Amino acid sequence: MLKRFSIYAALILALSVAASAQTRKDRILIYNISIAYEKSIFIDTRRKAATEEFGHFSFIIPHTIAQNLNSSGRVEARKIDGELPIKDMGSDAFYDDMERLGNRYGAQYIIGGRATVRGRKLSLELALINVKTRDFIAIIKDSFETGAELKSIINEISVNIEQKLGVYRAETAGRRRGGERREGRVETGPSPFLKVYRGALDRVGFGVQTGRFFIKGPFSRIYADSEYYSPYLSCDILKWFGLTAQADYLKADNENIIVKQRSTMMLWAVTLNADFTYMFFEHFGVKLTAGFGASMGRIVMGTGDNPFLGIVSARKSNDPYLNLAASLNLRFKPLEINAGGGYKSAFFKGKSLSLITVFFGVGFHL
């Protein structure tokens, strides 16, 4: 009985050790960030002492990064006091100190760096140090020190750190498989296409809106309200301003309206819009849109009293087109959701077509 119990205990111990080894997370130490100041010739920062205005970032930024990393569940981050000794960075003495610190806390990675303040702009320069391989990867981000944007930049840095950890893991696994170990700095760097992506695609979005239009004016006595569809392609020029190319398609007929001659109206329109966006929070804001373009209208008329003598004719018209809209936007990259209302008008020769719209849209922001 005692022998069997000993065997069971040994098996349970072995399994628990194996399970803990499989679920063991990478441990990361995060230093406070040193704050450096550069004078701006455009922005006067003398209203308040620099150290008094931005000194709290030294603790808040690494503390928030540690929280973000811990909440992901893939790593274990710990905030420690002090600042990274940047002056001796890269030397053997520097890596010896980092190795002793890592061994003390059982950590393989250490993060530290500085934030440079110039006017209202904040530049973050962090180093992700691998204690075992004695190298580091630089992580650099720029931000204006407004709360919402700074929080977004810190979130991006947290994600970037996890990505860089993946680079270290992949290289370590490759060394183990190949039986090769290379001392020194890890050869990593940004993709050659990164600037192209950020410059050309990072601000681009696309999607489709659908909604219902309500006809106003003389055309309301002829055609019934109906649905419309509107695909769009957008580009953010500034944080608050962008351009959108939008296409509208709508179709209306007489339905139950009593008219002398039955007809169907179809309208295709393309507009170039200016978008003005204000974000109340990181993921929620309001957008005002104003645009102008061209429309092609087509009215098909017919009589079906006698199928053999039925007359079908069509009238076409190319006219200026106006688009105005206001919407509430939810943005959780890459997904965008918007809902709102607007006004559209095709300036037909004679009497214009005026539409009040309500819509809902889904899009993706690269």
Instruction: Write the CATH number for 288.
Output: 2.40.160.20
More confident residue, 173 or 140: 140
Say which CATH number the domain at 104 has. 3.40.50
What is the Rg, in whole angstroms, of the alpha carbon atoms belonging to the chain?
A: 31
Same domain for 162 and 280, yes or no, is no
198: its two tokens: 């950020």
pLDDT surpassing 90 at residue 241: yes
Residue 19 vs residue 213, higher pLDDT: 213
Residues contacting 356, CB < 8 A, separation 6+: 213, 214, 216, 341, 342, 343
If one counts every other C-beta atom within 10 angstroms of the C-beta of residue 168, the result is 20
Closest CA to 212 of 200, 195, 196, 229: 229
DSSP string, 153-169: HHHHHHHHHHHHHHHHH
* pLDDT reported for residue 145: 59
pLDDT number for residue 23:
46
Q: What is the pTM of this model?
A: 0.49
Last residue of a domain, one of 156, 189, 222: 189
Question: From the CB of residue 38, how many other CB atoms can be counted at a distance below 10 Å?
Answer: 11
Domain that holds residue 258: 199-365
Q: Say how many Å lie between the first and final Cα of the chain, rounded.
A: 65
State whether 157 and 268 are in the same domain: no
Q: Which residues of 120-135 are buried (b: 16+ CB within 10 A; e: fewer)?
A: eebebbbbbbbbebbb
State the average pLDDT over residues 337-351.
91
For the cut 90, the answer to whether the pLDDT of residue 153 exceeds it is no
